[in-house]
Structure 1
Amino acid sequence: MEKCNIIYLHTHDCGRYVQPYGYPVSTPNIQILAEGGITFRQAHAASPTCSPSRGALVTGSSPHSCGMTGLAGMGFALKNPEQHMLFTLRDAGFSTTLIGQQHVAEDSNTIGYDEVIPFPEISRRNGGHTFKASVVAPAAAEWLSKKRTEPFFLNIGMDDTHRIWPEPGPEDDPRFVRPPEPIPDNPVTRKDFACYRTSARTLDKGIGLILEALDKNGLSENTLVICTTDHGLGFPRMKSSLYDGGTGVMLIIKGPGGFNGGQVSDALVSQIDIFPTVCELLGIQPPSWLEGRSMMPLMRGEYEEVNEHIFTEINYHGGYDPTRAVRTQRYKYIKHFKTPNFPARTSNQRKGPTLELWIEKGWRERPYPNEELYDLFFDPNEADNLAEKPAFLNILNSMQGRMQRWMEYTSDPLLAGEVPQPQEGTIYDVDSRCIKGTPPLPDCMRLSQEAPNVNLK
């Protein structure tokens, strides 16, 4: 097909908590995008932490494969920067521009974009969450108003939905707000979620400005808009966790190639599938390192699924928490590569009223099991761990086998021990703030027998 423009439009810590997914969060412009495109209801990040998720998306490979196993602001970086999607698109004749947040490098000017729109009032370092829609969206709209002779790849990043959130506005009265599952409903959590809802409104206004600029400048029909976020909401058991509340993300795509008409897909997809999808849409030879699968067969109606299973992971964020998960449509298996029954990892949570309440009620003292297995049909909130129940042994073994084979295929460093830290990185912890080094990992991943073939749909 004729080359279309590509816009990667993304925000922070949003999960699926926007209007098109049925949640009481007012985002009318994102709703308009969904009604003109396709909404993926079962889309997941490759990691529920910021830089690893984004690194995986732009390289089409898992965080441990692309090297982004922790935060860009803490010394972690892409192992091979030329695997970033922008280089493949540039070789295909695209101009490449960054406007706003990116979170895969400490300095945006080192990534390789042809153009990085400067924001003099914002530091070049990516640590501060200051790329608000009120600043980024007008700059993007102005950029889109200029005539161009070549197709473009435009990365637009906004971070309104990252904590710290504004006080709730009048439309988000905490008295009449219900927090998301699995957060308990009380005055603290109601106000906390009301603050998120207000932040989502400001994000949505920015997205509306960008969509309006596409229409005004005659770009809508020939531009693929990929609207997503890095991971789940900034609440306990969501962001920085491998439960669906952490890995589930909005993914709304609108543009050429069948991404239109207000469709909804329940196919299981990962953000690492975006890069190969763009390649197939544009007729570009997919790079050899891609681990995702193109979603174009879904668009053509050839298949109902392109993934039998997907994989997600945690390595570093606020602390070291090596964890892996494999998910099918029916089941999820989570493996914690630490001593069994380690305390809840509060160091990987962004401080906020709900987290403080959970800590006050004893969340730090609640243990995690070594392994977790959930039936997502009967237990969508992942509360009933089936890993030690004899009736589910065959399913457990099958899911273990899937994870093992994936780790071997991708040369996961956890198979050999700890995930390496960067040469000059510091791992921060909420409690002591500056912890360097981590305890050694036990060798606990080898399977004693081949896993049986079990129907996991």
Structure 2
Amino acid sequence: MSSKPNVLWITTHDINPHIGAYSGVYPGAEYAVTPHLDRLASEGVRFDNAFAAAPICAPSRSAIMTGCHPTAIGTMHMRTKAVPPPGVRLFSEYFREAGYFVTNNSFTDFQVPVPVSAFDDCSDTAHWRNRPSADTPFFAAFHGLITHESQIYLDDDAFAERTRHVRDEDRHDPTKAPLPPYYPDTEVFRKAWARYNDLITEMDHWVGTLLAQLEEDGLAENTIVVFWSDHGLGMPRGKRWANDSGLHEPLIMRWPGHLEPGTSTDALVHLMDLAPSMLSACGIDVPDHMHAVPFLDARGELKKNTNGYVFAGRDRMGELEDMTRSVRDRRYRYIRHYHPDRSPMQHCDYPDQLWTWREMRRMGSVEAGQRARGLPRSALTLLQRRLIAPTKPVEELYDLIADPYEEHNLADDPQAAGTLHRFREALRDWQSRYGDLGFLAEDELLERWRPGGVWQKTPPPLVERDPTGGIAVSSAEDAVVVWTDDPPSDQPESEGAGVPAIGSPGEVIGAPPTDGRYWRLLTPERPPPQDRPTWVRAVRLGHLASDDVEVPAHLASPTEDQE
């Protein structure tokens, strides 16, 4: 068994902290049935103030995988294929360089085409059990789609099959659903809320299977287990909103012998802080390009005051064009809308097909009918009506301790003027420090990245004989060099040389290319073999991979006079 700690990430989609372990901490969590996650929390640390960088999947996950603010590296629009600044890499590469077996099962969606350098295995069968030896430390990520918003709205038979592991006695009763006050109390919302929680219970079963496998393999004591979700629940005012309900996330971490069991922390953390925290905990240097800061070190010590504020942004989502920035401290959330003339619930084709979005539109239509008859509106409350209003305020400010559902906007309250000014300054300072590409027209940003729509290609690595008779491989432009001893075949790569095939699922989520060859990261500790031909290529985020450079076996052998 490796002396280095292993890392197991278990991630899910589209939930807030609606988990039993958060009962009394996050509103509505008491409705949850999550025995496995509750046990995990009892054996580790529950983070009460963990927040996403964006209220939607791909920008949020790009932040986690790079340790960078999406607005600073261009990954803020849902979806895009960004070209991050030179030096920005997916943090999984640092684990590979440190000798870890790194797997991803198998969702990506990081806003860049994922290069072959990112993982040893990125597939539906990726698992720590496939590592080359029991002594090889691993970083294994599993991404469950069980709680994705799409699953709430399945037909009855499909939903029953999707939640087949939920016992009858654990099914959530719609009549007892703790609806937030910004939802109308209708059958549609009650059914959606109950189904959302049934899916969380089904996801909890899946979590239990992974934890059981870890126990079976005798690895639990030397593995850092981390559970997180990417952003808020898949209903209006959750996913796609820069409110707490769109950004407040569950985060649970267990590390036996290091983190005190059954504890919690109110430390403010970005989910993107996970990247440097995992590196730091495993004794790997945190790269300079990361904006995120580690809250955990190799001793298992939790740092509490790494962030005075956490930041987030909402930008283009499909055809929905918008720009919002959000700042949170332990008590308040500030929201700045740069297009207050646009509805908070603009038309967006995909979510507008979902029951809860349609229900909000229907209720608005009912109220329009009331007006047509000369009657006052009564189908929605003022709070609920704000979701579908034609405009939104320039600024919002909420006291989350006194007002956990963000019902009362304090932005115009004279007594909150000092707090409002403080958050305005925090937002300006953040944008000044890191930059904010949201102010740049997206077409102009794309032209900067790819003039005329042409993908830029990474220059090939330079291969030279070093003084010992071996080879030296170098690459310009902060590219990463990978090598393989698998010869090229006639089988085309699924995504070309790092670019998804047009129209393929991989094009959307940026899945890594697959050509049947196993690519390793080139490091001084793990150079290519010298007794057989190898091939090297250079890769950089947002670029085409370079052409392969063949290194014949004789080049990698010492010359006779050196012998």
Q: Answer yes or no: same fold by TM over 0.5.
A: yes
Q: Which residue of 2 aligns with 1:161?
A: 147
The alpha-carbon distance between structure 1 residues 259 and 66, as it changes in their structure 2 partners (threshold 3 A), is: farther
Q: Which residue of 2 aligns with 1:131?
A: none
Q: Which residue of 1 aligns with 2:495?
A: none
Question: Alignment partner for residue 357 of structure 2, among 352, 355, 358?
Answer: 355
**Separation in 2 of the partners of 1:32 and 1:256?**
13
**Separation in 2 of the partners of 1:194 and 1:365?**
27
Q: Which residue of 2 aligns with 1:64?
A: 71
The AA in structure 1 aligned to 2:43 is: G
**Separation in 2 of the partners of 1:8 and 1:324?**
28
**Separation in 1 of the partners of 2:186 and 2:116?**
45
TM-score (norm 2): 0.66
Q: Which residue of 1 aligns with 2:195?
A: 195
How far did 1:210 drift?
0.4
The alpha-carbon distance between structure 1 residues 173 and 36, as it changes in their structure 2 partners (threshold 3 A), is: same
**Separation in 2 of the partners of 1:116 and 1:300?**
29
Higher deviation after alignment, 274-283 or 98-107: 98-107
Q: Which residue of 1 aligns with 2:501?
A: none
Work out whether 1:402 is the aligned partner of 2:409. no
- Cα deviation, 1:97-120, whole Å, max 9, x if unaligned, reads 11122221576675631112346x
Question: Alignment partner for residue 437 of structure 2, among 413, 424, 438?
Answer: 413
The alpha-carbon distance between structure 1 residues 358 and 421, as it changes in their structure 2 partners (threshold 3 A), is: farther
Higher deviation after alignment, 275-284 or 234-243: 275-284
Q: Which residue of 1 aligns with 2:264?
A: 264
Q: How does 1:287-326 map to 2 (within 5 A)?
A: 287-296=287-296, 304-318=304-318, 319-326=320-327
Higher deviation after alignment, 369-378 or 165-174: 165-174
**Separation in 1 of the partners of 2:315 and 2:305?**
28
How far did 1:293 drift?
2.0
**Is the Cα contact below 8 Å between 1:59 and 1:66 reproduced in 2?**
no
**Separation in 1 of the partners of 2:94 and 2:409?**
42
Q: Which residue of 1 aligns with 2:496?
A: none
**Separation in 1 of the partners of 2:49 and 2:298?**
13
The AA in structure 1 aligned to 2:361 is: I
The alpha-carbon distance between structure 1 residues 141 and 32, as it changes in their structure 2 partners (threshold 3 A), is: farther
Work out whether 1:13 is the aligned partner of 2:14. yes
How far did 1:156 drift?
0.8
Query: What SS class does the counterpart of residue 321 from structure 1 fall into?
Result: coil
**Is the Cα contact below 8 Å between 1:310 and 1:328 reproduced in 2?**
yes
Q: Which residue of 1 aligns with 2:415?
A: 391
Poorly superposed stretches of 4+, deviation over 6 Å: 297-302
The AA in structure 1 aligned to 2:91 is: M
Listed as ranges, the gaps of 5+ residues in structure 2 are 24-28, 161-167, 365-386, 456-563
How far did 1:79 drift?
5.5
Aligned-pair identity (%): 28
**Is the Cα contact below 8 Å between 2:103 and 2:128 reproduced in 1?**
no
**Is the Cα contact below 8 Å between 1:178 and 1:185 reproduced in 2?**
no
Question: Over aligned residues, Cα RMSD in angstroms?
Answer: 2.9
The AA in structure 2 aligned to 1:334 is: I
Q: Which residue of 1 aligns with 2:96?
A: 90
- Cα deviation, 1:63-85, whole Å, max 9, x if unaligned, reads 1223322334x545756695211
**Separation in 2 of the partners of 1:182 and 1:5?**
42
Pairs aligned (count) = 403
**Is the Cα contact below 8 Å between 1:297 and 1:306 reproduced in 2?**
no
How far did 1:255 drift?
1.4
How far did 1:186 drift?
2.5
Q: Which residue of 1 aligns with 2:286?
A: 286
The AA in structure 2 aligned to 1:43 is: A
- Cα deviation, 1:160-196, whole Å, max 9, x if unaligned, reads 1112225466422323333345433322111011111
Work out whether 1:370 is the aligned partner of 2:411. no
Q: Which has the larger radius of gyration?
A: 2
How far did 1:265 drift?
1.1
**Is the Cα contact below 8 Å between 2:6 and 2:139 reproduced in 1?**
yes
Higher deviation after alignment, 259-268 or 172-181: 172-181
Q: How does 1:36-55 map to 2 (within 5 A)?
A: 36-55=43-62
**Separation in 1 of the partners of 2:389 and 2:194?**
28
Query: What SS class does the counterpart of residue 29 from structure 1 fall into?
Result: helix
Work out whether 1:25 is the aligned partner of 2:32. yes
The AA in structure 1 aligned to 2:400 is: L
How far did 1:228 drift?
0.3
Query: What SS class does the counterpart of residue 76 from structure 2 fall into?
Result: coil
The AA in structure 2 aligned to 1:233 is: L
**Is the Cα contact below 8 Å between 1:49 and 1:240 reproduced in 2?**
yes
**Separation in 1 of the partners of 2:110 and 2:440?**
25
The AA in structure 2 aligned to 1:356 is: R
**Is the Cα contact below 8 Å between 2:149 and 2:235 reproduced in 1?**
no
Q: Which residue of 2 aligns with 1:330?
A: 331
**Is the Cα contact below 8 Å between 1:257 and 1:281 reproduced in 2?**
no
**Separation in 1 of the partners of 2:54 and 2:414?**
30
Query: What SS class does the counterpart of residue 164 from structure 1 fall into?
Result: helix
**Is the Cα contact below 8 Å between 1:78 and 1:104 reproduced in 2?**
no
**Is the Cα contact below 8 Å between 1:141 and 1:209 reproduced in 2?**
no
How far did 1:417 drift?
5.8
Query: What SS class does the counterpart of residue 296 from structure 1 fall into?
Result: coil
**Separation in 1 of the partners of 2:402 and 2:148?**
31
How far did 1:342 drift?
2.1
**Separation in 1 of the partners of 2:236 and 2:36?**
28
**Separation in 2 of the partners of 1:224 and 1:19?**
21
**Separation in 2 of the partners of 1:240 and 1:140?**
32
The alpha-carbon distance between structure 1 residues 77 and 345, as it changes in their structure 2 partners (threshold 3 A), is: farther
**Is the Cα contact below 8 Å between 1:69 and 1:76 reproduced in 2?**
no
Listed as ranges, the gaps of 5+ residues in structure 1 are 120-138, 426-457
Q: Which residue of 2 aligns with 1:35?
A: 42
The AA in structure 2 aligned to 1:59 is: T
